[in-house]
Amino acid sequence: MTDPVETSPIRRSPYGDHTACARIGETQTVLLVGHDLWLSGLLAPLCEALDIRVVCAASHHDVPIRLHRDHPICIVSGLEAAGPTSCAMLRSVAAYDPDMPVLLITGDDPAIDGAIDVAERLWGLTGLFRLSNVPGPGDMMNFLFLAGRKDGTGRLMPIS
């Protein structure tokens, strides 16, 4: 028996031939990693207003499964420590699509920033965005716009 999620048609991004994008006819998806209440409180209503679906991965270990099942246009994640689970998440993103937009909320920890620098160079990650604090609605809207544009499915327009 085949998994219907894995066999449905996939629209490919014009920005990368290996990039699996939103499925035809489906709403765009954002992957939220972890259980940060401030972040989900900001992201959920904004995405609902924009008709973007939010799916959650309970931990960094669930990211590879969610990437292949939900084909998100981007990932939003808080990083509390520069540990092996954070590196595993970034390695999963690199294997799936090294250009995928990933918003990382790092706090002011220089160890996290150093680990992200190493991961970017080591695995060729080009879509990482770092913020030290939870972004405001305008910053989140801008990130979602850039993710949709990269994916080739964006419906958002920036406001100057």
In a domain, 160, yes or no: no
pLDDT at 19: 39
State how many domains the chain has.
1
DSSP-derived secondary structure for 75-97 = EEEE-SS-SHHHHHHHHHHHHH-
DSSP H or E stretch at residue 55: strand 53-57
In a domain, 20, yes or no: no
Distances (CA, A) of 44 to 1, 26, 47, 71, 81: 34, 18, 5, 18, 24
Distances (CA, A) of 33 to 62, 64, 135, 151: 8, 11, 15, 19
In a domain, 12, yes or no: no
CATH of the domain at 62: 3.40.50.2300
In a domain, 51, yes or no: yes
51 vs 1: which has the higher pLDDT: 51
17 vs 34: which has the higher pLDDT: 34
In a domain, 6, yes or no: no
